[in-house]
Amino acid sequence: MTGKRSTFLLSALVFGFAFLYVPILLVIIYSFNEGKLVTVWTGFSFKWYVSLFSNDGMIDAAWNSLRIGVMSATLALAVGTPAGLVMSRFGRFKGRTLFSGMVAAPLVMPEVITGLSLLLLFVTLEQLIGWPAGRGVTTIVIAHTTFCAAYVAVVVQSRLAGMDTSVEEAAMDLGAKPAKIFFVITLPMILPALLAGWLLSFTLSLDDLVIASFVAGPGSTTLPMKVFSSVRLGVSPEINALATLIILAVSVMIVISSLLILRSERARSRSMNQAASES
Amino acid sequence: MSQGALQKAHEDVHKTQPWNNPDAVPFIRFENVTKKFGDFYAVDDVSLDIYRHELFALLGGSGCGKTTLLRMLAGFEEPTAGKIFIDGVDMAGVPAYERPTNMMFQSYALFPHMTVEQNVAFGLHQDGLPKSEIRTLVSDMLALVQMTKFAKRKPHQLSGGQRQRVALARSLVKKPKVLLLDEPLGALDKKLREQTQFELVNIQEKVGTTFVMVTHDQEEAMTMASRIAVMNEGVIRQLGTPFELYEYPNSRFTANFLGQVNLIEGTLVDDDEKYAVIQSDDAGGEIYIDHAVQGHEGATLWIALRPERLRLLTEQPTDTKYNCLSGKVEEIGYLGGLSTYHVRLDSGFRIKVTEPNSSRHIEPRYTWEDRVWVTWEAGAASVLNQ
């Protein structure tokens, strides 16, 4: 009975993992392929990596994406955090439901609509006040900030909702004014949520193709746009090399962050035991 | 007694019991304070005076308004109506960060990202004191609560009792005029709680600050407080010293809330200047009270009898027909130091009696189904008319 069940579980596990990771594995393997065809293995080589790094268009696009990601994640944090704070800490006020609904709306809004409406906004603004002049990195950053801020607001709100308000009350009771409480008490306590919100926004921005396509201008091609347009001309093994590098970067980041979490958790439980044994 | 000694005695009473001194100025004053949340009256027209150096307890079940009263004192809630004065100053519109109060929270509310030392120093930093002075004050305060060797720890590295001490130190270090304590010992286990009760009282005596404490634990309130306000449904049901509340409850509610009590319903049949007799169908007998009772003959009254004031006899007393109810032992609870007996009276009413086990008996004095007589002294009963 148990033998049968474990065979079933094992095969399900193998199938599941294969389903998830075989495509990725293929991409990695074929990035080292010598031939030009993506589907035929002809020999081991680093040539596509070399050609990737000499492809200025690709490097520029990657640089654009990184810059846009960092800027929009940071701006989204600045806009989204106060919104999350208002939703969880200002109690009941008139129009609260409307406000939180509108904050969360970009999460469910189809990207095509967000992109189109932002494009119309930018064009109108340019005609009216001359800013933003043309489409480019600035407009993409603004566009990404709008939908990333919604994610940050939701993350911050849920973190604050789980946090004991008496800690902030204690700070007020001890003589700190509201603005100071926010920076000295609330902010450090929601730091993990802010970090998570920033990383989420960065990833979303890096990943976005649709909205960026609407509001991009000449010279502001992002990596997803570049990849998408080059794939339309036929899949080049350069893309495989690029994908492999991205997977590598992501894996390294995940490993480092889980190591850090593990270490802090261990230190925490050690000191908890220590406290318990002393009392 | 000479004139001087009498004067001295009066002064002593006024010093230790300012509420009995008509000339004493209250330190905290609630004037017809009401707090509504929507349609719900959390606090309903409460007036209350608290004096300097008191350890005052607000006692009541959950939702009775005690915490709301405390939070209005701290400035976290504004009263819907009425006024609050601290040391003669009207607190209306004064934000929490400018009030001369500090609060110890039920959850302790320590700042998790700061060390013990930084937690305690936080309030002093807000006042902009020089660094050297802050250092001295913090280390003195940590010494007072015996937490010096944990100064560099973070809150999550402390046990519950240690966190409680840090919270106390943090709220005391600013030398507030009033220290507010919200269920200060609620999160501790029973042994630690009993020990900490006395420690807290000692610290209060040492620093001399006025303490206002909220608790649902009547034992805690009785042990620690100079006076207690028993609250229910947003109003103060009775106000007094622990002794007054226990011995002279003014209603069935307070009698029931503080300690254990047998409440017997009866009708006043004989009311004199010096005594009263109450006929009770509950008890199945006549009850003699050694003082006059407020109320007309025929009025319905309740007699409150504390279980420890009752005595069990195995033979019917022959000298009196009053205060002597016969019944059978139904349940026995042996608690070591004392035993509780539940006696089913002949009338069907169940009465609770506790007797101290002051010596070692191999055989219990009474056992199940024994016929016993429950008696008490005429002065032991309180008569309640509400």
Chain A partners of B106 at a C-beta cutoff of 8 Å? 166
Is B97 part of a structural domain of the chain?
yes
**B197 and B278 within one domain:** no
- Tell me the pLDDT band of B299, cut-offs 50, 70 and 90: confident
Q: Is the dihedral of CA A183, A187, A191, A193 positive or negative?
A: negative
The mean-pLDDT minimum among B66-70, B166-170, B378-382 falls in: B378-382
Q: Number of structural domains, chain B?
A: 2
Same domain, B241 and B341: no
Whether chain A has a CB inside 8 Å of the CB on B63: the answer is no
* Residue-range definition of the domain harbouring residue B62: 16-253
Answer for the pair A69, A200: CB distance below 8 angstroms, yes or no.
no
Q: Residue A265's pLDDT is what? A: 76
Identify the H or E element spanning A157. Answer: helix A137-161
Q: How many CB atoms lie within 10 A of CB B144?
A: 17
Greatest distance between any 2 Cα atoms in chain B: 79
Does residue B351 register a pLDDT over 50? Answer: yes
Measured between CB atoms, which of B106, B111, B171 is closest to A185?
Answer: B111
Regarding the domain delimited by A56-232, which CATH topology (the fold level of the hierarchy) does it fall under? MetI-like fold (1.10.3720)
Would you say residue B271 lies in a domain? yes
On whether both B83 and B218 belong to a single domain, the answer is yes
Residue B375 phi, psi dihedral angles, 5° rounding: -135, 165
Is B5 within the bounds of a domain? no
Q: Is the pLDDT of residue B353 over 90?
A: yes
Q: Do B101 and A275 touch (CB under 8 A)?
A: no
Residue B283: how many other CB atoms lie within 10 Å: 25
A176 touches chain B (CB under 8 A): yes
Residues B83 and B100 in one domain: yes
Do B199 and B66 have their domain in common?
A: yes
For residues B21 and B136, the model is more confident at B136
Partner-chain contact B112 A167, CB within 8 Å: yes
Domain positions in chain A are: 24-54, 56-232
Contact B98 A167 (CB under 8 A): no
Task: Select from B222, B253, B284 the last residue of a domain.
Answer: B253
Domain annotation covers residue B52: yes
Answer with the one of B253, B276, B298 that is the final residue of a domain: B253
CATH of the domain at B281: 2.40.50.140
Instruction: Identify the sign of the CA torsion B332, B334, B335, B338.
Output: positive
Question: What is the model's pLDDT at position A11?
Answer: 92
| B6 found inside a domain | no
Q: Note whether B74 contacts A164, CB cutoff 8 Å.
A: no
State yes or no: pLDDT of B313 exceeds 50: yes
Closest CA–CA distance from residue A185 to any residue of chain B (Å): 7
How confident is the model over B29-70, as pLDDT tens digits?
999 999 999 899 999 999 999 999 999 999 999 989 999 999
Q: Which of B253, B284, B313 is the last residue of a domain?
A: B253
Domain membership of residue B182 (yes or no) is yes
> Least CA distance to A276: which residue of chain B?
B159
- Tell me what pLDDT residue A272 has: 67
The complex's ipTM works out to: 0.83
Q: Measured between CA atoms, how close is A181 to chain B, in angstroms? A: 11
Asked if A259 is an interface residue toward chain B (Cβ–Cβ < 8 A), one would say: no
B235 with B289, same domain: the answer is no
Same domain, yes or no, for B271 and B241?
no
The sign of the dihedral angle between the CA atoms of B138, B141, B147, B148 is positive
**Contact yes or no for B383/B301 (Cβ under 8 A):** yes
- Closest by Cα among B49, B45, B123 to B87: B49
Three-state DSSP state, B151: coil
pLDDT tens-digit profile of B68-108? 999 999 999 999 999 999 999 999 999 999 999 999 999 99
Structural contact between residues B284 and B351, judged by C-beta atoms closer than 8 angstroms:
no
List the pLDDT tens digit at each of the 279 positions of chain A.
Answer: 455 678 888 999 999 999 999 988 988 888 888 888 777 888 888 888 998 888 888 889 999 999 999 999 999 999 999 999 988 887 777 888 888 888 888 888 899 999 999 999 999 999 999 888 888 899 999 999 999 999 999 989 988 888 888 999 999 999 999 999 999 999 998 888 888 889 889 989 988 999 999 999 888 899 999 988 888 887 778 888 888 998 898 888 888 878 877 887 787 677 767 666 655
The residues, any chain, with a CB within 8 Å of residue B26's CB and separated by 6 or more, are B49, B50, B51, B85
- The residue among A135, A139, A140 whose CA lies nearest residue A207 is A140
Q: What is the pLDDT of residue B360?
A: 78
Residues B69 and B130 placed together within one structural domain of the fold: yes
B219 lies in the same domain as B290? no
Query: Rounded CA gap, A22 and B95, in Å?
Result: 62
Is residue B2 a part of any domain in this protein? no
DSSP for B229-249, please give it: EEEETTEEEEEE-HHHHHHS-
Q: What are phi and psi of B103, to 5 degrees?
A: -125, 140
Q: What is the pLDDT of residue B358?
A: 82
CA distance A41 to A269: 51
What is chain A's Cα-based Rg?
Answer: 24
